[in-house]
Structure 1
Amino acid sequence: MSDINIIGIDIGKNLFHLIAHDRKGNEIFRKKLNRAKSIQFLSTLEPTIIAMEACCGAHWLARKCQEFGHDVKLIPPQYVKPYVKTNKNDFIDADAIAEAAMRPKMRFVSPKSEQAQIGVLIRRIRSGYIRERTTCMNRIGSILLEFGLSFPRGYHHMKNLLQWLAEQKEPIPPMVIAEVTNLLDYYHLLNKWVAEQERKLDEINKDNDLMDLLQGIPGVGPMTASCCLSAVGEPKDFKNGRNFSAWIGLVPHQYSTGGKSKMLGISKRGNKELRELFVHAARSVMWRDKSAEHYFGSWLLELKRRKPFNVAVVALANKLARIAWAVMSNHKPFELRN
C-alpha cells in the first residue's frame, strides 16, 4: 500500500469501484466495495490522492476523504471520457479517472461545502415549485378554454380569478368551478412554498459577507448572489473572470481550423441556472438607460444601438459574470470607475 500514488473511484449508488496506481501509472489493486466498506477502507489508508468525477455524491465523499487526510481531485466527467479505453465498465471508468487526474493540465473542481450543497438543494426545490406553479396556471387556463373562456395570461390575474369568473356571461358548470377553485388553492400553496424557499436561502447566507458584496453589482439580486455562492466552490479555480464566464457558457463558441478563426453563438456550457440568472440581471440593467449609462458609461449604450437587444444583453451578462468573479476572488465591492 505504500506504493500508492493515486486512487481512482467510480461512484455508484451502492457499489464503488476503486483502482490504485503507482507513480509510473501501473495498477496496484482494484476493489469493488459497497458504500460503508469503501468509507472504512479509505479511512485506513495513508494520505494519498483520491480522484473522482464531479457527479452525484462526489462532494459528500470528497469531504469524507478530506477528513481522513487525503488530497481530493474532482474532475468534470467530460474531461475523463477521452481516457476511457475500449469498452466501458466501472473498473475501466475508475482507471480512466486515475489516469486523467495525473495529467499536468487537467482542470479540477473544488469540493463544495455542506452549506453550498444545501443552497443548491433549496434553489432546485424552489425551481421545481415554480415549474409546478406555471403548470397549474396553464391547467386552469386550458380548463376554462374548454368551456369557452379565455383567461388572461400573467400571475397578476390569478388573484382575481374568481371575480373574473363571476363577471363572465358564459355559464360554467358548478363542478368545473369547484375544480378550478381547488387548482387555485394549490396555486396559492405553491406561492407560499416558493416564498418559504427564498426565506431559507436568506437564512443560510445571512452571515456571508460575499452575499452583500455580490448584491452591490448592478442587476444582481439575492437569487443570483446565492447561486454564485453555492455553485462556485472556490473562485480561485478560475484563472480570471473570462474563464469563469466561459464556464457559465457566456462566451462565443469557437470553431477555428486552417488558420481561420470563426466565432459562433455563446457556448451555453456549464451552469445553466447561473447563466440564466446573469442574463436576467443584464436585462434588468438594459431596460433602464440611465442606470446603464451610470454604471457602464457610453460603452453599453453604443452597444445597444449597434447590436440587437439580446446580443447586447448577453454581452453585458458576460461582463457581470466577470465582475462577480472579481468580487468573490478579492472580497471587495463593485466600484464605479471615474
Structure 2
Amino acid sequence: MNATRKAVVGVDTAKSVFQVYTVEQATGEVINKPIKRAQFVQWFANRPPCLIGMEACGGSQHWARKLQELGHEVKLMSGKMVKAFVGGNKNDAADARAIYMAAQQPEVKAVAIKTEAQQAVLAMHRIRQQLVKMRTAQMNALRGLLAEYGEVFGTGRKAFDAGIKAALGRLAERLPMPLIETLRDQWNELARLDARIARIESSLLTWMREDRAAKAIFAIPGVGLLTATAVVAAMGDAKAFRSGREFAAWLGLIPGQTGSGGKVRLLGMSKRGDTYLRTLLIHGARAVLRRPKALSPWLQQLSQRRPLNVVIAALANKMARTIWAVLAHDRAYDKDHVSMRPDTAVAR
C-alpha cells in the first residue's frame, strides 16, 4: 500500500528561492533544500505525480496551475492552519516541513485553485476597491483643507459637489489663485476616479452576463453586480464546500465559539475568511432590509425581536447559504423553494 501511495512535497514559496521538503518513499531520505525560481517547475517535471502542499499566498495560484499541468495534485492551505505545525524557530526549512505535515492532515481545508479568468475578475475588484479608497481619501482631504478657511459641507458626495463650486468662488476673492487652481484640480480628480470605477463596473457587468453561475446568483435579493462576480470568482468550485453552512463559515458569517469540558459558549461573528466578500454580503442584506414591505415573514418576525445588526448578519448568513445551494446544485433561484433533508425527500 505504501508503495502506491503518492509522495508528499511541502513547498515554501518565495520571490526568488523556494524551499522544498519531502521524504523519499523508497529510501526514507529527507530532502529539505532550496530551489531557485528558474529550476522550480523543472524539478517537479522530473518527478512522478505527487501531492504538493503550499501556503495560499502571493503567487501560489500561478504555481498551483503550473504544477497541475504537470499532473501533480496541489493542496493550497491557509497560512494560519500551517502555522500550527511549525516547531521551534521559524525559517524557510521549518516552514517547508510544516507545510509537508499540514498537507497530509484531512482536517486542514484546502483553498480553491482558481482559473486565470477568475483571478482576473478578482484583480478588477481589488483595483476598484483601491480606487474607491483613493476617491474617499481625496474628498476627505479636500473637506479638511477647505474647513481651514471656514467652508464646510453636508455629509455625502452629493452635498460636497453641490457646495464646493460656490466655496471655491468665495475663496478666490481671499486666497492666492495657485491654491484655488490646485483645489479645483483635486476636485476634478474625483470625476476622473468616478470614470475609472465606472469602466471597471462595466467590464464586470459584461463578464457577469456571459457567466452562467454569476447570472444565477444575481437573482437572489441582496446580491448585486459586485457580489455576484466576486463570489463566483473567489469560491471556485462550490462543491468544494460540503454545505451552505461551511461556505458561510468560510466567509466568517457564523458565530465564533469557545468552550471546554463540554460547555460551549457562542461569541459574535467569527469574521474569518475574505473581508471583502463578507462586507458585500452585509451591505446587500442591509439593502434588502430597507424595503420593509418586501420582507419575508421570517425576516419580519426576526426584526421584531432582535437588534438591527443581528438581523443584518443573519440575513447575510442566509444569503451565503442560498448562494452555495444555487451554485452547488446548479439550479435557478426560487424564492418559494423549501429545502428538505435528503432522507425526508426520499420518504416523500
Question: In the aligned structure 2, how far is the partner of 1:261 from the partner of 1:4?
Answer: 39
Moved more, 234-243 or 175-184: 175-184
> 1:334 and 2:333 equivalent?
yes
Letter in 2 for 1:84: V
Distance 2:60 2:200 in 1: 25
Partner of 1:230 in structure 2?
Answer: 233
Q: How does 1:178-327 map to 2 (within 5 A)?
A: 178-293=181-296, 298-327=297-326
Task: State the shift of 1:287 in Å.
Answer: 1.1
Is 1:110 paired with 2:109? no
Matched residues in 2 for 1:123 and 1:95: separation? Answer: 34
* CA distance 1:209–1:229, change in 2 (3 Å): same
Secondary structure, in 3 states, of the residue corresponding to 2:263? coil
- Once the 2 structures are TM-superposed, how far is the Cα of residue 130 of structure 1 from its aligned partner? 0.3
Distance 2:257 2:27 in 1: 34
Q: Distance in 2 between matches of 1:327 and 1:46?
A: 38
User: What percent identity do the matched residue pairs reach?
Assistant: 35
Q: Is the 8 A contact 1:110 1:233 kept in 2?
A: yes
Q: Which secondary structure does the structure 2 equivalent of 1:83 belong to?
A: coil
Pick which of 160-169 and 46-55 moved more.
160-169
Q: Distance in 1 between matches of 2:246 and 2:23?
A: 31
Map Cα deviations across residues 298-333 of structure 1 (whole Å, 9 max, x no partner): 111111111111111101000001001111111212
The one-letter amino acid of 1:217's match is I
**TM-score using structure 2 length:** 0.90
Q: Distance in 1 between matches of 2:117 and 2:285?
A: 27
Work out whether residues 168 and 180 of structure 2, in 8 Å CA contact, stay in contact via their aligned partners in 1. no
Quick check: 77-86 or 241-250, which moved more?
A: 77-86
Q: CA RMSD in A?
A: 2.2
TM-fit CA distance, 1:122: 0.8
Change (3 A) 1:22 1:206: farther
One-letter amino acid matched to 1:244: F
Q: TM-score, normalised by structure 1?
A: 0.93
Given residue 228 of structure 1, which amino acid in structure 2 is its aligned partner? V
Residues 23, 286 of structure 1: alpha-carbon distance in 2 compared, 3 angstrom cutoff: farther
Q: Cα deviations across residues 130-177 of structure 1 (Å, max 9, x unaligned)?
A: 000001111111111011111222111344345432675995423332
Task: Say if 1:258 and 1:145 are closer, same or farther in 2 by CA, change over 3 A.
Answer: same
Report how far residue 183 of structure 1 moved.
0.4
How far the C-alpha of 1:84 sits from its partner, in A, is: 1.0
- Matched letter for residue 90 of structure 1: D
Instruction: Summarize deviations over 1:236-281 as a string: whole Å, max 9, x none.
Output: 1211001110110111110122332211110111000010000011
**Could you say which residue in structure 2 is the equivalent of 1:125?**
127
Structure 2, unpaired ranges of 5+: 338-348
> CA contact under 8 A between 2:171 and 2:180: conserved in structure 1?
no
Unaligned runs of 5+ in 1: none
Aligned length, in residue pairs: 334
Q: Is the 8 A contact 1:4 1:23 kept in 2?
A: no
One-letter amino acid of the counterpart of residue 72, structure 1: V
Residue 306 to residue 3, structure 1, CA distance change in 2 (3 Å):
closer
Letter in 2 for 1:69: G
8 Å CA contact 1:25–1:99 kept in 2: the answer is no
**Mapped partners of 2:207, 2:54: distance in 1:** 28
Q: Distance in 1 between matches of 2:29 and 2:163?
A: 68
